[in-house]
Every structure is written in structure tokens, then in C-alpha cells.
Amino acid sequence: MAEGTTGPKHVAIIMDGNGRWAQMRGRPRLLGHHAGAKRVREIVEACPDQGVKYLTIFAFSTENWKRTQTEVAGLMKLFRRYIQREARDLLANGVRVRFIGDRVRLDDKLVSLMDELELLTSHNDTVHLTVAINYGGRDEVARATKRLAYDVASGKLSPKDVGDETLPKYLDTYFLPDPDLVIRTSGEARISNFLLWQSAYAEYEFIETLWPDFTRDVFAEVLAGFQTRDRRFGAVKA
């Protein structure tokens, strides 16, 4: 993307369609998740050329625990393997990795790997990759509100000082700007409890492409379409 263009700086992606991609090929759903994990690398690598500084991906929701035990266990193993396999390349490519979501339900080994990768890449600044694991927008707001309430009760924060700029400081994403664009793959037109507060003024793009088929060319096409949108944030142009 050429310098001076008005492309999105923060893109969030609901990576949907891995299971269907595999089933369409007569293969187990987990194969689709492995194919989707490989696609993440390509899209992260494409971000600098597209002017995308922040990329947030929805890897596992608070609702995904309802899936079969086999699929959930396979996904957790995939997350561990992905972190171990990609850590060096992420570091070398200047990618800073952070995780959002409630870690309490995740196994200790995965949490340890997440902590290590965050520390390892903490000085990187080329691309900020945020991975949402055991994340739900409602759960995030509930946890943030609880922390805010504790600060009010302890006297650290006055109730009269609480406004719409206060809660974001307590959200998992306190270190991120709000997303400019949210993409959902696989043709589903819903937001699935993802970044509810942060996406109040984001543009949305729902595309038919399944996530394992979401190439850097498809990514570039979606980003080019973003530039044609008129973002007024509630105002009216004179």
C-alpha cells in the first residue's frame, strides 16, 4: 500500500470456516484448523506492506468450549505447537505478540508459552499481533467492570470520574487503538461476541472466503475496499 493512503492501521479478523474447509474435502475438522494456522503467518507477513500496524485475530472464544472434547484438545495442542514453532520467526520479523482473554481456564503449559512469547517479543514494533484465546466481548466487559468497581470501592477512583473513556483502560485491549476494520471470513454475517466495545465505529467486511483460503491477495483486496468507505463517526460532512 503506497505511502499517504488511508488504509486501516488496526485490522481485526474473525477467522471462520476452518472446519467447513476440511469437511468439504472429506477430512477431519482439525485439519482445517492446522491449515488456518498456516494462513495466519502469511497474513501477519503481509501487514507491513499493507500499512497495517495492528492485527488482532480471534483464535478461540469463550463459547468454543462447547465443541467436542477432541476438537478442543486438538486446538489447545495446536496453539502450543504454533507458539513453539513460530516464536523465532515472529521475533526476527519484528512482530510483537500479546494475548487477550481469560487465561484461568487454559492449561498451565499453554499459559507459560504465552507469557514467554509476550516477553520474548516485547521490544518489537513492526507489527503488533494480538491473539484472542478464551475471549468473549461480554466476558471482557464484565471482568473490566469488576476491576473498575474494586477501584471505586477502594477509593482509587471516584464514581463521578467514570465516563466512556474510563472503561477502556480496564479492558484486555487497553494497549491497543480501536480497530478500523473487522473482517469475518466464511460468509457468516455476525460479530460473535468479538471486540464489542472496541468496534463501536469499526467498518465491517463479511466475505465468503473460508479462512484457510484467505490469501494475502484477498487481504489486499479487502483493504483496498476499505479506502472507498466514508467514515464520518456520526458526523455529517459539510
**Residues marked as catalytic:** 16, 64
Phi, psi of 126 (to 5 degrees): -70, -50
Sign of the CA dihedral 67, 72, 78, 79? positive
Q: What amino acid occupies position 155?
A: G
**CA dist., res. 134 & res. 131, Å (int):** 10
Which residues, at least 6 apart from 97, have a Cβ–Cβ distance to it below 8 Å? 90, 117, 118, 121, 129, 130, 131
Closest CA to 99 of 226, 82, 89, 85: 82
Q: What amino acid occupies position 16?
A: D
Burial 27-58 (b: 16+ CB within 10 A, else e): eebbbbbbbbbebbbebbebbeebbbbbbbbb
